[in-house]
Structure 1
Amino acid sequence: MIGVVGAGAFGTALAIALARDGRSVTLWARDIGDMAQTRRSPRLPDVTLPDGINITKNMVDIAASETVLLAVPAQSLRDVLTANATHLDAKQLVACCKGIDLETLTGPVATIARTLPNAMPAILTGPSFAADIARGLPTALTLACADDTVGQNLQQQLSTGTLRIYRTTDTIGAELGGALKNVIAIACGVAIGASLGDSARAALMTRGFAEMQRLAQILGAEPQTLVGLSGLGDLALTCTSPLSRNYRYGLALGAGTAIDPAMTVEGAATSWAVTRLGQDRGIDLPVCAVVAALTRGEISVETALQNLLSRPLKEE
């Protein structure tokens, strides 16, 4: 049995994909509403939830699962782990979120390890939209776990006919790739929203990717991880599609239009955290710094553009 904590779009989509492939899945949410009766999710209204999904609001039901997917926002992960330590301790815990904790400046794997040291932490990340997974469209993800034996077991558990899982032991690279690409997606959305053009977006993707690699390697990631699914693959998807919440958020910022306050945008908080990390390590991260200032309302789009264009000329 596999447990999924968090019945948002992504957690529900993973539960659907696994149940369709014959797994027994328990899906937990604080408020399940009438999902158990209607077999419909308000986040994925066009998809019927398979019978193999047991929907619950009781965390004790999750305790029966050896493997638990944590599909909660990165900034909520530590609180969820702390509040439910009795039920989650000593399990295989797979983070399904992308971000850096604002208080501890750690990614999801490190957050799990610090909060529940008896658990086996891992992360599932890569280029994916919940709607695609729920509809059974082909998707490839990266499963990162420091213990490769556990990683192989999780790879087998979580792979389905349409969900292809690759694995790595580089948890630092995988979690940073997933977190940092959201920051660059906001920047790309701003460029398109402000009518700066596709060339500007391409430049931001490229220079932003260089920042991702620079910081990740300083923090101990393996270089090849960032050019895989959890880095470059995810970056390409989220910087070009309006299905990306971070990209849509950037579009609204660039265009000066209203932003949906209910929309979870991991990249904003991540930009604040990564800017602090860069300052602490003495690393130049101009794109991330501009996104942090924009999302805090400290500068305008025009000032952000001028800040980037007026930087000293240099070799690539």
Structure 2
Amino acid sequence: MKVAVMGAGSWGTTLAKVFADAGCRTTLWARRAEVAQEINEQRTNSRYLEQVQLPEALEATADAAEALDGAEIVVLGVPSQTLRSNLNEWAPMISNNATLVSLAKGVEKGTFKRMSQVIAEVSGAAPERIAVLSGPNLAREIALEQPAATVIACEDHNRAQLVQAALSAPYFRPYTNTDVVGAEIGGACKNVIALACGMSVGRGMGENTVAMLITRGLAEITRLGEAMGADPRTFAGLAGLGDLVATCTSPLSRNRSFGERLGKGGTLDDAREATHGQVAEGVTSSQSIHELAKLQGVEMPITTAVYAVCHKGVDVGDTVAALMGRSKKPE
């Protein structure tokens, strides 16, 4: 099985390692030639996965055509807001029967499309060829071969099983699901809730507050997912609660760390500097999901609060007061 992983960030590099460890012929595409050279010559990607040794079987290239040539599984590991532009360039090079796997977790700004919808629109691939990978998958832990699991969601269960087999390594256990909508909504929204959890920690709040945000965050994610046709059971699984807990509680989570810096009074630029110049996906997603929720007629108060901090300049302390002062209702 030949696999192309497009994107050599921490998660793309980690997944490429997993595919290679699972026995697939794996090529990792890096935007910068020096990153590909380091991977090939030193077996490391020091910018994103410091002190992690990559397998000899993993090849890297800065040539997209070389990576995609003959690939039966194409893993799209670029950020959600750049997926469309990248895929426009790559689509003509992708095999007509390749399975496309999305790693991006977000809702496209302006169009409010899920990533699988963007992939279908740009590539012309039928939805049955598009899979989504989601779960409690902190890249560094998996790169260090700590046991973890994930969900491969695809409308075509046979394709989901194909990816499952290609990605099954001794330390990594994939499950299958056909609820693509649920997996994508869970994956996009959890980044926003993780920002809220980080903000609360930055303000000096404790575990009760974080538990409240996770639990009520899951409730609003489920409301949005159900309104869009998702199976509510998905949100009780790895792609829902599992991903949410990992992202909201771990210091390895960029969204949580970004939110913590905001909670301590930092600006978006301060938080970006603290996360090595990277903007957390949840910052952009908070606007897209806030607007999507309005279109769906779904109330998402935590998402609205994060949107207000990130895009309207509202103080974190004011959003806490607003959330706690909402009208009383049954759970």
TM-score by shorter chain over 0.5: yes
- Alpha-carbon separation, structure 1, partners of 2:166 and 2:226: 30
- Alpha-carbon separation, structure 1, partners of 2:168 and 2:117: 24
- Alpha-carbon separation, structure 2, partners of 1:19 and 1:116: 26
Matched, 1:56 2:61: yes
- Alpha-carbon separation, structure 1, partners of 2:173 and 2:41: 31
Q: Quote the residue 2:93 is aligned against.
A: 87
- TM-score normalised by L of structure 1: 0.97
Q: Quote the residue 2:296 is aligned against.
A: 281
- Give the match's secondary structure for 2:271: coil
- Alpha-carbon separation, structure 1, partners of 2:327 and 2:22: 54
- Alpha-carbon separation, structure 1, partners of 2:168 and 2:21: 12
Measure how far apart 1:66 and its partner are: 1.1
- Alpha-carbon separation, structure 2, partners of 1:299 and 1:81: 35
The answer to whether the 8 A contact 2:18-2:167 is kept is: no
Q: Quote the residue 2:325 is aligned against.
A: 310
Q: Quote the residue 1:151 is aligned against.
A: 160
Matched, 1:259 2:271: yes
Whichever residue aligns with residue 8 of structure 1, its letter is G
- Alpha-carbon separation, structure 2, partners of 1:178 and 1:240: 15
- Alpha-carbon separation, structure 2, partners of 1:63 and 1:171: 27
- Give the match's secondary structure for 2:32: coil
Gaps of 5+ in 1: none
Offset from partner CA, 1:129-160 (integer Å, 9 cap, x none)? 11111111111000000111111111111111
Matches within 5 A, 1:70-219: 70-88=76-94, 90=96, 91-118=98-125, 120-219=129-228
Measure how far apart 1:270 and its partner are: 1.1
Q: Quote the residue 1:15 is aligned against.
A: 16
> Mean Cα displacement is larger for which, 260-269 or 160-169?
260-269
The answer to whether the 8 A contact 1:127-1:140 is kept is: yes
Measure how far apart 1:32 and its partner are: 3.1
- Alpha-carbon separation, structure 2, partners of 1:101 and 1:20: 32
RMSD of aligned alpha carbons: 1.3
- Alpha-carbon separation, structure 2, partners of 1:22 and 1:116: 28
Whichever residue aligns with residue 120 of structure 2, its letter is A
Whichever residue aligns with residue 105 of structure 2, its letter is K
Measure how far apart 1:125 and its partner are: 0.9
Whichever residue aligns with residue 303 of structure 1, its letter is D
The answer to whether the 8 A contact 1:252-1:259 is kept is: yes
> Mean Cα displacement is larger for which, 43-52 or 299-308?
43-52
Whichever residue aligns with residue 278 of structure 2, its letter is M
- Alpha-carbon separation, structure 1, partners of 2:320 and 2:54: 45
> Mean Cα displacement is larger for which, 256-265 or 53-62?
256-265
- Alpha-carbon separation, structure 1, partners of 2:125 and 2:311: 37
Offset from partner CA, 1:10-65 (integer Å, 9 cap, x none)? 11111112212322100001103131222210211212221211110111112221
- Alpha-carbon separation, structure 1, partners of 2:94 and 2:108: 19
Q: Quote the residue 2:246 is aligned against.
A: 237
- Give the match's secondary structure for 1:296: helix
- Alpha-carbon separation, structure 2, partners of 1:268 and 1:202: 21
Measure how far apart 1:67 and its partner are: 0.5
- Alpha-carbon separation, structure 1, partners of 2:15 and 2:123: 23
Measure how far apart 1:105 and its partner are: 0.7
- Alpha-carbon separation, structure 1, partners of 2:75 and 2:215: 32
Gaps of 5+ in 2: none
Measure how far apart 1:85 and its partner are: 1.4
- Alpha-carbon separation, structure 2, partners of 1:253 and 1:79: 30
State the number of aligned residues: 316
> Mean Cα displacement is larger for which, 299-308 or 16-25?
16-25
- Alpha-carbon separation, structure 1, partners of 2:306 and 2:295: 18
- Give the match's secondary structure for 2:5: strand
- Alpha-carbon separation, structure 2, partners of 1:18 and 1:135: 14
Measure how far apart 1:121 and its partner are: 0.9
- Give the match's secondary structure for 2:24: coil
- Which of structure 1's runs of 4+ aligned residues deviate more than 6 A? none
Q: Quote the residue 1:268 is aligned against.
A: 283
- TM-score normalised by L of structure 2: 0.92
Measure how far apart 1:89 and its partner are: 5.3
Measure how far apart 1:264 and its partner are: 3.6
